[in-house]
Amino acid sequence: MQHVYIDHNATTPVAPEVLETVVSCLGQVYGNASSIHHFGQGAKQKLESARRQLALLIHANPAELVFTSGGTEADNMAVLGVCGAAPRPAHVITTAIEHPAVLSPAAHLEREGVAITRLRVGASGILNPDDVRGALRPETVLVSVMHANNELGTIQPIAEIARIAREAGVVFHVDGVQALGKIPVDMEALGVDLYSMSGHKLYAPKGVGALYIRKGTRLAPISFGGHHERDRRPGTENVPGVAAFGAAAGLAARNLMADAERLANLRDRLENAVLDRIQGTGINGSRWGRTPNTSNMYFDGIDGEALVIALDLRGFAVSTGAACSSGALTPSHVLTAIGLSSERARASMRFSLGRSNTVEQVDALVSALEASVAHLRRISVHA
């Protein structure tokens, strides 16, 4: 049986061109990028070449990029770093649908006395910028809003929020992990101060990410050691991972528009077929203003985890719209935040398409969904 991967928002396979870069670096570029000898300088060149490739993708100055271990570290560096450099009392504005990589450090700061406002987004999953303006206080030091939601794919009005934050003199951080490589990302056009990125969402390996830090943005360190990454992030750089991230960024820059158009067509084909052929279904969040590869749908009367397993047995890897933690199924905080009941949140599925997916695979997925949903509904009636 052929297995089809439709869970690209969770992680992506390493692209062949990127894999070549990793293997080459692991075998040949083993110097420490901080060393001044031949081997160290070879590693340094790879590091800076990747920095330029990523900077080109996001229209930034390479000197404003700091490489990290991934999106979570980049988010923590931004949220904790801004608040660590700010006077108290301090206030942070974020949303109720952020990734835990933002919500968890925010909760940590709250326990330490920082005031946190978590804005609601409504059924569309899209934040109203006026809500940010209304939440501002004299002591507000940070606004943190994700660019594209990992579960819904909804894209936030980042440039408009950036203008509001700039007028108030407040630092603006954006979690861009699910946006990079899927939609155009331009630091100058967006006007943000901090932007988090992750390699493994972009067909690069896991364990590498980056934080864009606009020149002049004050950040307190969250870890301590040597003078790597312009004193922003200590620790010997992961040169093979960084080089792979750079190669993936170059690949994304070349293929972004073509990939986006093709994946949006596949997503719409999937949604239209499901809505037409399976009763008791619908789309969570806005159908407009989404990343082109992402669809989140509910299947009433179904347990999402059971449907994931049923589809896996039929050869399709997808994910549930609910988070599974320590074996206990709890409703997704994103789906409940946009107004879904716990029951409907648990009956929701996320489909995230990628470069390898085809029309034939989407059509086969719809047939597998139709059969699986019918079977699960039938056995739940008799249970």
Q: What pLDDT digit, counting tens, does each position of 305-358 carry?
A: 999 999 999 999 999 865 444 344 688 999 999 999 999 999 999 999 999 999
- Neighbouring residues of 98: CB distance < 8 A, sequence distance ≥ 6: 106, 144, 145, 146, 175
Query: What whole-number distance in Å separates Cα of residue 144 and Cα of residue 102?
Result: 8
Residue 236: predicted pLDDT:
82
Question: Tens digit of pLDDT for each residue in 42-76?
Answer: 888 989 999 999 999 999 999 999 999 999 999 99
> Looking at the structure, do residues 70 and 41 belong to the same domain, yes or no?
yes
CA 300 vs CA 21, 46, 277, 321, 345: distances in Å: 45, 51, 14, 13, 10
> Looking at the structure, do residues 184 and 297 belong to the same domain, yes or no?
no
Residue 383 pLDDT class (50, 70, 90 cuts): low
Q: Which of 207, 229, 252 is the last residue of a domain?
A: 252
Residue 324: predicted pLDDT:
43
Specify the DSSP class assigned to residue 154: B
Give, rounded to a whole angstrom, the gap between the first and last alpha carbons of the chain.
30
Looking at 23, 257, 313, 324, which residue is catalytic? Answer: 324
Q: What is the mean pLDDT of residues 132-161?
A: 98
Please state which of the ranges 140-144, 368-372, 379-383 shows the lowest mean pLDDT.
379-383
Query: What whole-number distance in Å separates Cα of residue 339 and Cα of residue 122?
Result: 7
Q: Which two tokens stand for residue 38?
A: 């031949």
CATH number at residue 326: 3.90.1150.10
Residue 382 pLDDT class (50, 70, 90 cuts): low
Q: What percent of the chain has pLDDT over 90?
A: 86
What average pLDDT does the structure give for the chain? 94
> Looking at the structure, do residues 100 and 236 belong to the same domain, yes or no?
yes
CA 350 vs CA 74, 126, 151, 346, 353: distances in Å: 25, 17, 6, 11, 10
Name the residue among 356, 125, 153 with its Cα closest to residue 271.
153
> Looking at the structure, do residues 374 and 326 belong to the same domain, yes or no?
yes
Query: What whole-number distance in Å separates Cα of residue 7 and Cα of residue 178?
Result: 13
Q: What is the mean pLDDT of residues 97-122?
A: 97
Structurally, the chain folds into a number of domains equal to 2
Burial 155-194 (b: 16+ CB within 10 A, else e): bbbbebbbebbeeeebbbbbbbbbbbbbbebebeebbbbb
Residue 229: predicted pLDDT:
84
- CB-CB contact of 159 with 190 (8 Å): yes
> Looking at the structure, do residues 93 and 204 belong to the same domain, yes or no?
yes
Residue 237: predicted pLDDT:
87
Residue 289: predicted pLDDT:
94
Residue 227: predicted pLDDT:
87
Q: What percent of the chain has pLDDT over 70?
A: 97
Name the residue among 311, 355, 297, 357 with its Cα closest to residue 151.
297
Is residue 122 exposed (0-12), middle (13-18) or buried (19+ Cβ within 10 Å)? middle
> Looking at the structure, do residues 24 and 41 belong to the same domain, yes or no?
yes
3-state SS, residue 264: helix
User: Greater confidence, 110 or 41?
Assistant: 110
pLDDT at 32 over 50: yes
Give the phi and the psi of residue 325 in degrees, each rounded to 5.
Answer: -130, 125
Residue 325: predicted pLDDT:
42
Q: Which of 252, 267, 292 is the last residue of a domain?
A: 252
Query: What whole-number distance in Å separates Cα of residue 86 and Cα of residue 68?
Result: 22
> Looking at the structure, do residues 94 and 78 belong to the same domain, yes or no?
yes
Residue 30: predicted pLDDT:
83
Residue 12 pLDDT class (50, 70, 90 cuts): very high
Strand 171-175 versus strand 140-144 pairing type: parallel
Active site (annotated) includes residue 83: no
Kindly report the length of the chain. 383
Residue 230: predicted pLDDT:
83
Range of 142's domain? 16-252
Distance of CA 104 to the CA centre of its chain: 15
Q: What is the mean pLDDT of residues 243-250?
A: 97
Residue 326: predicted pLDDT:
37
Q: Which of 227, 252, 277 is the last residue of a domain?
A: 252
CA 264 vs CA 72, 203, 233, 281, 354: distances in Å: 27, 18, 37, 20, 10
User: Greater confidence, 34 or 216?
Assistant: 216
